[in-house]
Structure 1
Amino acid sequence: MRYIEEKNVSFEHVRSSDELGRYLVAARDLSPGDLVLTERPLVFGPKGMPDPEAVMPCVGCYKPVSTEAGERCSKCGWPVCSGNCPGLTDPRHHGAECLILSARPDCELKDMFNYYRHDALLPLRCVLLQSVDPDKWSKLTEMQSHMECRTPGTEAYDDANEFIVEYLMNNFISKLDEATKKKHLPNISPDLIHKMCGIIDTNALEIRHPEGSELLALFTNTCIMEHSCIPNTKHTFAQSVKDKNELFRITVKVVVPVQKGNHITTMYSHALWGTQARRQHLKDTKYFACKCQRCSDPTELGTYLSAMKCLGDDGNPCDGIHLPEDPLDDETEWACNKCSVKINNSQVNMIISQMGEEVENVQMMGGSPMMLENLLCRLSTFLHPNHYHLYAIKHSLIQLYGRLTDQMSQNMLDKKIMMCRDLIKITKTLDPGNARLSLYNAVLQYELHTALVLSAKNPKNDGTPRTDEEVKQLLVEAKDTIEDAIVSLKDDLEETSGNQLLEVIQKSKKEFDRLCQEKK
């Protein structure tokens, strides 16, 4: 047993088991806000942008830059925000890799995504730690890579081989002279780059840059933390720093009470995916099968986030719901809670996958309220009202309703209020400490607040005015929701989305306070 010891860090036990590997347990009772650990990243690098033909991240500071009109690094030709970007000479950013990338000096304006593969930069920066920082290299190579699962023929191996390993070896490393290779990459091979890809896939954390790009970073101690689909910690990254060495420092804090001896956990999947989607993602990327409390519960803590409606059999309708008999079994049958009808797991997966594509397509098209309502109505025939596909549609609808405040009848306001309350209940159950869904919760609380305030100003459905007591009840709930929204965002202010949302909410809070003074 050993301890993680850093300034201002709670001392937590590091233990290990065959099933979990290394993991953390609380050395004392921990309360929300208690610090678990904080550390600088070993190495970090950019991910590709969603539309790389139009925008790519600067290799020195990661700001999105136009691929056509943007400047290029004078040495290697990769897109940059400016030839004077400080990160171009900083070895933690572009400084060390530039020499390697300069082995292919040509610039390209067509097929940019395949020519400038930003997802290959982090593996390159990893192998360059051999010469840039041998101490970090030693720590990096101790991380789990799961190479036993990434053998030739597997999707993970073949993708890494085509898009990263061969890309780096053929375009850059093979063109280096022996002296350069010996000095900067003394130990380099396709197998070593594959190992770096495995370490990144298994351990890297995603960082959202304030201006919209994304990065991946590796941390020595944070990677020890065990996954749970109901995590008890939240992590944030320092981005507005005076000391450049503190950039992307991670801080991990407790968000719900943790008793002494209990595991300290984080989450490596999406909190609003159903159990099968989460578990499959973890198997594909982290190489383990999650057996946490939420995954083990067919109802997902009573939220029914994956549940389907039973349509009955042989013309006999049924209003029951289908749940997996054993959610930890990939081949489980789904049984109705009211009749004898069962459906197999492959049928469920096919239906849910098709519905997911429909939801994604409508949202990518910027679906109108009518389009989303039609899709909601259609999918509601087959899915439990709390299903995660319906959650996604409702979350979008609630925000669209918010833009139509002048056109909303009291019936529509009542519908929005009910929808907000339902989604808040699900969100709070799945993430009581705002570890992963703080922005979702803040949006829901804010939209509920605006609907409650509008209702307080409007007459009732029958046209009669509200009593003072009815107005008071609405405004008291509105006060609670706006305050909950503000608290929910307290750890998200390093991100542009969190800051922008807080500005909107605080403006509404001032208007609400004035209203309350008027209403006494």
Structure 2
Amino acid sequence: MGHENGADCVYEARTSEELGRYLIAARDLAPGDLVLTERPLVFGPKATLDPEATVPCVGCYKPVLTDAGERCAKCGWPVCSGNCPGLSDPRHHGAECAILRMRPECVLDNMAEYYRHDALLPLRCALLQTTDPERWKKLSEMQSHMECRSPGTDAYDEANEFIVEYLMNNFINKLDDETKNKHLPEISADLLHVFCGIIDTNALEIRLMEGTELLALYTNTCIMEHSCIPNTKHTFSHSTKDRNDLYRITVKVVVPVLKGSHITTMYSHALWGTQARRQHLEDTKYFACRCERCADPTELGTYVSAMKCLGDGNNLCDGIHLAEDPLDDETDWACDKCGVKVNNSQVNMIISQMGEEVEAVQMMGGTITMLENLLCRLSTFLHPNHYHLYSIKHSLIQLYGRQPDYTSEEILDRKINMCKDLIEITKKLDPGNARLSLYSAVLQHELHSALVLKTTIPNSDGSVKPVDVVKLLIVEAKSAIDTALDSLKDDMEELSGKKLFSVILESKKHFKRYCKDKNLVV
């Protein structure tokens, strides 16, 4: 295997009974080195959050208004325009239209049930057998984990109800023999289930500039092994001269990788604790992660899963509870000082309840008071670095210094310390900005804003801050905003990255004007 552009291959493919297929470095690799780049085998839209309001065009995936959008003249599915180039392109809507037109009537109500956009990718997988036999062959070699998706499992039953029966009953079973032989010579409910397994196991998520999300399958990228401290980052091309390069993936090294070392990516959230990550991977990818972070009770010294010890009921204790064996799903949690133990089911229940509270407050657009009260209450039970507290603090720092009554030097110092604490955790969990680049950028930007604002606040006695103090704050602020912009250098093709970069760049312009007005040379 090699790059599609013919460059020397920097990796070798290996196989083991434990890991299946995986990649190792063929030579020492440095940050920025290209690992691979390839076009997707097949891609398709995910379901939107509010299909009654907007749905993706089946030709180009731009959001279209559900009740006012145009429809494909042949199959009736929502489109941005009858002239959308994707409607005739077999990689998009061109091939599937012949199948979808088996149900030509249109509706405006119950859009989520009637137009199931998440069923399009499995259908496009099936259509590869006639639209691109070479890609069909590569797709057929991908892992589906059907041994874990038998009837009665949640994965099988969900796919059966929302994807397989939907496609079979509404479209495929209505095909005449000529159309079926032309487009889907091999098709069955079982085959569609295999495609659902392949997608769940291997697909990568692509967020488009307009906000729509796609899923895509890649031949070589899917071989990369998971690690909760990945050494690569991948990006997707969204605007290209060659339409065949649309959604091409590029995988680059983000930290040094020695020859023979495994080349890794991440299929979970870097800010989840070990039990949450491992459970997610077992449920969706069907393997138990045993990486360095998962095996370390302290999670690389961050303690993002640790809990405080409350003692034995008679004596208080200031120790912390850590999982005795993080790789054992039933492990006890033991205090590092007094030896008190808590069983895993109790910990899971407590952490789950706290997570629901955090999510509820943030979904309501939590105020500073709400967030501070929750932070205070949960801090009684959790280590200061716990990922639930990280989430609350990350919200608070974006409010401190930006709302009336929260701009005092005391508040700014609190914000600065929070930023620095979270930056340290983030760097340990993701030293190469592979997964947490947006979090890092926000933290550095908020640190910058707090430092600059602090220079404008008089001392407690009303006097102006000395020039040397101001200079130190300004130098640190410049470093923070430069780091924020640099952390987003690989996120400019995504809407969230581009918007955040624009906001931070505007802050840097204001910062330069401020320094000029104050005659500060940095």
Whether the TM-score (by the shorter chain) exceeds 0.5 is: yes
Q: 2-side partners of 1:310 and 1:404: how far apart?
A: 35
Alignment of 1:213-292 (within 5 A): 213-292=212-291
Deviations 1:266-306 (A, max 9, x none): 00111011101100111111111000000000010011111
CA shift, 1:327, in A, is 0.3
Q: What's 1:302 paired with?
A: 301
Q: Does 1:519 align with 2:520?
A: yes
Q: 1-side partners of 2:101 and 2:207: how far apart?
A: 28
Q: 1-side partners of 2:463 and 2:274: how far apart?
A: 47
| TM-score, scaled relative to structure 1 | 0.97
Q: Secondary structure at the match of 2:152?
A: coil
Asked whether the equivalents of residues 4 and 12 of structure 1 are also in contact (C-alpha less than 8 Å), the reply is no
Cα distance change on mapping 1:3 and 1:63 into 2, 3 Å: closer
Mean CA deviation greater in 335-344 or 200-209: 335-344
Q: 2-side partners of 1:464 and 1:344: how far apart?
A: 56
Q: Secondary structure at the match of 1:16?
A: strand
Asked whether the equivalents of residues 256 and 433 of structure 1 are also in contact (C-alpha less than 8 Å), the reply is yes
Q: What's 1:443 paired with?
A: 442
Give, as a single letter, the amino acid of the residue that structure 1 aligns with 2:147. E
Give, as a single letter, the amino acid of the residue that structure 1 aligns with 2:379. S
| TM-score, scaled relative to structure 2 | 0.97
Give, as a single letter, the amino acid of the residue that structure 2 aligns with 1:372. L
Give, as a single letter, the amino acid of the residue that structure 1 aligns with 2:361. V
Asked whether the equivalents of residues 325 and 334 of structure 1 are also in contact (C-alpha less than 8 Å), the reply is yes
Q: 2-side partners of 1:470 and 1:10: how far apart?
A: 52
Deviations 1:181-235 (A, max 9, x none): 1110000011100000010011000000101110000000100101000000000
Asked whether the equivalents of residues 4 and 11 of structure 1 are also in contact (C-alpha less than 8 Å), the reply is no
Mean CA deviation greater in 510-519 or 207-216: 510-519
CA shift, 1:402, in A, is 4.9
Deviations 1:342-394 (A, max 9, x none): 11111111111111111111111111111111111111111111111111111
Deviations 1:40-63 (A, max 9, x none): 000000001111221211111111
- Which consecutive aligned stretches of 4+ in structure 1 deviate over 6 angstroms post-superposition? none
Q: What's 2:96 paired with?
A: 97
Q: Secondary structure at the match of 2:234?
A: strand
Give, as a single letter, the amino acid of the residue that structure 2 aligns with 1:179. E
Cα distance change on mapping 1:422 and 1:17 into 2, 3 Å: same
CA shift, 1:498, in A, is 1.2
Give, as a single letter, the amino acid of the residue that structure 2 aligns with 1:154. T
Q: What's 1:325 paired with?
A: 324
Mean CA deviation greater in 459-468 or 206-215: 459-468
How many residue pairs end up in the alignment?
A: 519
Cα distance change on mapping 1:141 and 1:371 into 2, 3 Å: same
Q: Does 1:77 align with 2:76?
A: yes
Q: Does 1:55 align with 2:51?
A: no
Asked whether the equivalents of residues 402 and 447 of structure 1 are also in contact (C-alpha less than 8 Å), the reply is no
Deviations 1:8-29 (A, max 9, x none): 4543111111111111111111
Q: What's 2:393 paired with?
A: 394
Alignment of 1:90-169 (within 5 A): 90-169=89-168
Deviations 1:424-455 (A, max 9, x none): 11111101111000011001100100000111
CA shift, 1:399, in A, is 1.3
CA shift, 1:5, in A, is 6.2
Give, as a single letter, the amino acid of the residue that structure 1 aligns with 2:138. K
Asked whether the equivalents of residues 229 and 429 of structure 2 are also in contact (C-alpha less than 8 Å), the reply is yes
Cα distance change on mapping 1:332 and 1:409 into 2, 3 Å: same
Q: 2-side partners of 1:113 and 1:460: how far apart?
A: 58
Q: Secondary structure at the match of 1:400?
A: coil
Q: Does 1:476 align with 2:480?
A: no
Q: What's 1:347 paired with?
A: 346
Mean CA deviation greater in 309-318 or 178-187: 309-318
Alignment of 1:32-71 (within 5 A): 32-71=31-70
Asked whether the equivalents of residues 29 and 259 of structure 1 are also in contact (C-alpha less than 8 Å), the reply is yes
Q: 1-side partners of 2:23 and 2:89: how far apart?
A: 34
Mean CA deviation greater in 500-509 or 198-207: 500-509
Asked whether the equivalents of residues 56 and 63 of structure 2 are also in contact (C-alpha less than 8 Å), the reply is yes
Q: What's 2:180 paired with?
A: 181
Q: What's 2:501 paired with?
A: 502
- Which runs of 5 or more structure 1 residues have no equivalent in the other structure? none
Q: What's 1:335 paired with?
A: 334
Q: 1-side partners of 2:82 and 2:123: how far apart?
A: 22
Alignment of 1:375-414 (within 5 A): 375-404=374-403, 407-414=406-413
Give, as a single letter, the amino acid of the residue that structure 2 aligns with 1:415. R
Give, as a single letter, the amino acid of the residue that structure 2 aligns with 1:298. P
CA shift, 1:466, in A, is 2.2
Q: 1-side partners of 2:172 and 2:335: how far apart?
A: 58
Asked whether the equivalents of residues 43 and 215 of structure 2 are also in contact (C-alpha less than 8 Å), the reply is yes
Mean CA deviation greater in 267-276 or 105-114: 105-114
Q: 2-side partners of 1:77 and 1:397: how far apart?
A: 47
Q: 2-side partners of 1:463 and 1:425: how far apart?
A: 34
Asked whether the equivalents of residues 312 and 341 of structure 1 are also in contact (C-alpha less than 8 Å), the reply is yes
Asked whether the equivalents of residues 401 and 411 of structure 2 are also in contact (C-alpha less than 8 Å), the reply is no
Cα distance change on mapping 1:233 and 1:355 into 2, 3 Å: same
Q: 2-side partners of 1:316 and 1:50: how far apart?
A: 50
Asked whether the equivalents of residues 333 and 345 of structure 1 are also in contact (C-alpha less than 8 Å), the reply is yes
- Which runs of 5 or more structure 2 residues have no equivalent in the other structure? none
